[in-house]
Structure 1
Amino acid sequence: MFSVRRLLVPISILISTPLMATTFDELAKLPASDIQVIDCRSSNNYNGWPEASQTRGGHFPGAINFDSDWLSTLRPPHLEHLLQSKGVELTKPTYLYCAPEKATVLSKQLDSIGINNITTVSQSISDYSGQLERLARFEQLVTPQWLKQIIDGEQALYAPEKGFKVVEVAWGPPTKYLASHIPGALYLNTNKIESEPWWNRVDDQKLAETIKQLGIRFDTTVVLYGRDNTAAARAANILMYAGVDDVRLLNGGWKSWVNAGYITEPMLNKAGKHIDFGRPIPSRPELIIDVPEAKSILDDPEHQSLVSIRSWEEYIGNTSGYKYIKPKGRITGSKWGHAGSDAYHLEDFRNPDDTMISADIIEAFWKDWGITESQKVSFYCGTGWRASETFFYAYVMGWENVSVFDGGWFEWSGDPSNPSSSGEITPSQS
């Protein structure tokens, strides 16, 4: 089940015009409803990171992000589906902006499926005289280029102020990490921060000891990544709950570092000196809630939302999603916030390169289900990983009153007295 803003229409009604060039200032004078603008740069630049040699980042207001580099992984049917999910229409005059070679590649692909009323924008986005749009906290969702700069000791925008740690996060022994990881990265086994029976966060004393072993203070910048970034996001949420002021996530995780062509290293890195955290743990307890708080949110659905980040099949009760979770269904009164194809994927929130999808698409998902920025919003999934990644995206989008319901469906369904539901449902029924 997908949320699509606009639908493709038959190719036969299109009018072809030659490829042309314009400026953003000219583009801003055109009625926004009559055109579509595609930002074919990296999603990182779209989010707010300046391109190399540029003075500012962000995107032209209302632009749709479709990185030309994604084409290398897409076949025509998948290309059309992805364009549709991004809201691209066949009939509207289309304006592209990115590096000339990238714009040429994308324009040829668009033309091959019938979008041939295309114009390229010759002006650099940083030279546009108008206001650019960007994520409120884009600097917390970092690029591999930025990470390499700080590892190499080079000058970087939004650099750590009081030292940094790079940490790879995964469940279990560091098998893949030992073979190859980002230079200098430490390793965090999620068994150190969550435990049975419900795979909730460990108690605050154990959490404090784990953070101490990693050599992290409250004012240390912590950059997290994973082979699957849901694990890294789980650690991000817990470290923020503990009180780390500057927690960042590598956009696209391990894949983004490898795709950038950067070197890796084998063997285990040690954290070095164990240091005191420097403030009480937790310092931000509101970022993780438990069953009583989840029930309180359900009591006021107009101003609060308990949001299920589980696949549609999990949400309607066709599957529990996990071998070790027997009950099927959803928390009665919870709203569907989208997720992916199953309990181990999060495609609805990721681009083809595993980077975060555009904020406007996420907000459109949620608006359909009555989930808004003005509310108190808590995300849940099976045990917390998918919910944590979505929590972090909401955080970088600038949503202020957000949290993760730690126990999720696993703990909730473990008590038969907690109300649960199953079956098809519409947003209005929720």
Structure 2
Amino acid sequence: MLIKTTAMVVLLLTSGSLFAAPSISPTTATFEQLAQQQAHNTPLQIIDCRNSNLYNGWPEPQQQYGGHIAGAVNIDASWLKTLDTSGFQTLLRDKHLKPTLPTYLYCSADKAQQLTSALQAQGYQSLTTINQSLSHYHGQLSALPNFQQLVPASWLHDLIDGKHPRYAPKHGYKLVEVEWGPPTKYLLDHIPGSLYVNTNTIESKPWWNKVSNTALTKVIADLGIRYDTTVILYARNNMSAARFANFLMYAGVKDVRLLNGGWTAWINAGYPTENLPNYNKKPVAFGKTIPVNPQYIIDTTQVKSLLKKPASQQSVVSIRTWPEYIGKTSGYDYIKPKGRIEGAKWGHAGSDSYHMQDFLNPDQTMKSGNEIAAQWAKWNIKPRQDVTFFCGTGWRASEAFFFAHVLGWKNISVYDGGWYQWSANKNNPTADGTIIPANVH
């Protein structure tokens, strides 16, 4: 299960930093000594400075289980390469870390040193590093319920190389890049072996909703995808990949995965690319009647029915910027009405309609599940509810939907029409203006 963040913070160290080495050698400790401090209820912070995939649940080499120590926050030391001082300070505030509390870091020695130096520069004085492998930790680790659906670039690289990594596909796989428009960037550079999907083939005018089931069936067949084929998706901005992920899950593909961090993660890792296009040679029958999971995409009538339930039982979630939510802007040049669906809760998003910073780490990987769940809980958006996500036309909502899926949320969907279709009918109730969160507990 997903464990809620506590006051503790443990640092997991990673590589790469613009900060100089610390002037004072950090204190070292073992996991056993950390456990003793925890047993005495000593106030402390734990930072897991390894990469987010290991934090989420992917096991390290030669380790049976993955995940993180309950209460640890994730700060990958490699993020320091892309953060200036202001950005690092914002990150520490977002993680609710305090320079006055004893802080433990666990990761490799070089990464621990990099992060220690950066923290010392921000006034952190009581810093202790744990250089042991997490295999020496004897407590229960916390991991995302469906972490396997969010794959590391290293895992994908091994898979493409013909190796058999842990959680490998059981019935073959297809790797697909998903973007809007012709494959301009794809033809210059893409992950080896990947096919291409233009979102214009899976969305239709006027609202940019999902195409008909007949048309979707053809797209899937042309890609060579059966219901039991593992499909791994990525994009330059993973919103478009998540959009197709939602459609594939709706269709009935049993194993849909997203490359954590998308194209950025692949390039950052220095893995090879190719420029020759790939095509599936022979269409295949899906093997089931589409849709197998119609509940993953809902329409306007279903949203209205959902809103009639008590707020404690349902959440219609606006994955839009705060200015969009309160009606200062529509967020799009082709959408004129401003405001929100009356009764919708704010689910966060990013700086504009093309970004999702509230859900992403500095390296574009998925933010800690605890942090995502916490920002939703403030608006009474909770896992046991019937939850649907919407944005302007479905892309941002689909990424939030997929993250909720990785978190193990069950009753989730995307409102396909989004604000675009809802606001086009003046009879649909709307609201604007600032609102206090429905639940602040």
For the pair 1:69 / 2:64, whether they are aligned, the reply is no
Q: Provide the residue aligned with 1:89 in structure 2.
A: 98
| Partner of residue 325, structure 2 | 315
SS at match of 1:223: strand
Matched, 1:394 2:404: yes
Unaligned runs of 5+ in 1: 7-15
Distance 1:96 1:314, change over 3 A: same
Write out per-residue CA displacement over residues 269-296 of structure 1, whole angstroms, 9 at most, x where no aligned residue.
0112110000010000001111111111
Q: Which residue of 1 aligns with 2:36?
A: 29
CA distance in 2, matches of 1:421, 1:336: 12
Q: How far is 1:268 from its partner?
A: 1.2
1:205 and 2:233 aligned: no
Q: How does 1:24-63 map to 2 (within 5 A)?
A: 24-31=31-38, 34-63=43-72
Matches of 1:425 and 1:269 in 2, distance apart?
49
One-letter amino acid of the counterpart of residue 196, structure 2 = Y
**1:30 deviation in Å?**
2.3
Aligned to 2:16: none
- Measured on the aligned residues, the alpha-carbon RMSD in Å equals 1.7
Q: Give CA-to-partner distance per residue, 1:232-282, whole Å, 9 cap, x none.
A: 000000000000000000000000000111000002101121100000100
Which TM-score applies when normalising by structure 2?
A: 0.92
Say yes or no: does 1:297 pair with 2:301. Answer: no
Shift of 1:50: 1.6
Q: What letter corresponds to residue 151 of structure 1 in structure 2? A: I
Percent pairwise identity: 55
SS at match of 2:26: strand
Contact 1:18 1:117 in 2 (8 A): no
Q: Secondary structure at the match of 1:30?
A: helix
8 Å CA contact 2:210–2:416 kept in 1: the answer is yes
Q: Which amino acid aligns with 1:403?
A: S
Q: What is the Cα deviation at residue 24 of structure 1?
A: 1.9
| Corresponding residue to 1:114 among 120, 123, 138 | 123
TM-fit CA distance, 1:429: 8.8
Is contact 2:108–2:131 with CA below 8 Å preserved after alignment? Answer: no
CA-CA distance at 1:5 after TM superposition: 9.8
Whether contact under 8 Å (1:219, 1:244) holds in the other structure is: yes
What letter matches 1:407 in structure 2?
G
The 5 Å alignment of 1:261-300 reads: 261-300=270-309
1:332 aligns with 2:332: no
Whole-angstrom distance in 2 between the partners of 1:329 and 1:131: 45
Q: Contact 1:17/1:116 (CA < 8 Å) preserved in 2?
A: no
2-side partners of 1:344 and 1:91: how far apart? 37
Could you tell me which runs of 5 or more consecutive residues in structure 2 were left unpaired when the two chains were aligned: 8-22
Residue 408 of structure 1 aligns with which residue?
418
Deviations 1:15-74 (A, max 9, x none): x99721122232123246711100000000000112234332100111000000000011
SS of the residue 2:59 aligns to: coil
Shift of 1:386: 0.4
- Name the residue aligned to 1:362: 372
Paired residues in the alignment total 418
Conservation of the 8 A alpha-carbon contact between 2:179 and 2:235: yes
| Inter-partner Cα distance in structure 2 for 1:206 and 1:100 | 53
Q: Which piece of structure 1 moves more, 245-254 or 108-117?
A: 108-117
Structure 2 SS opposite 1:249: strand
Partner SS, residue 305 of structure 1: strand
Of the three residues 144, 148, 157, the one matched with 1:139 is 148
Partner of 2:353: 343
Q: What whole-Å deviation, never above 9, does each CA across 1:156-191 have from its counterpart, x for those lacking one?
A: 100000000000000000000000000000000011
- Counterpart selection for 1:260 from 251, 255, 269: 269
The equivalent residue for 2:187 is: 178
Q: Which structure 2 residues correspond to residues 160-239 of structure 1 after superposition, within 5 A?
A: 160-239=169-248
Residue 298 (structure 1) shift? 1.0
For the residue of structure 1 that corresponds to 2:231, the secondary structure is strand
Distance 2:137 2:144 in 1: 18
Is contact 1:233-1:249 (8 Å) kept? yes
CA distance in 1, matches of 2:381, 2:112: 36
For 2:121 and 2:142, the matched residues in 1 are separated by 30
Q: Deviations over 1:326-372 (max 9, x none)?
A: 00000000000100011111000000000000011111101110111
**SS state at 2:257 partner:** strand
Residue identity matched to 1:415: N
**Deviations along 1:377-419, whole A, 9 cap, x unmatched?**
1110000000100110010111111111111100100100000
1:122 Cα offset (Å): 2.5
In structure 1, what residue type is equivalent to 2:54? N
Q: Which amino acid in the other structure matches residue 358 of structure 2?
A: D
Q: Does structure 2 retain, via aligned residues, the 8 Å contact 1:25–1:130?
A: no
In the TM superposition, what is the alpha-carbon distance from 1:128 to its structure 2 partner? 1.1
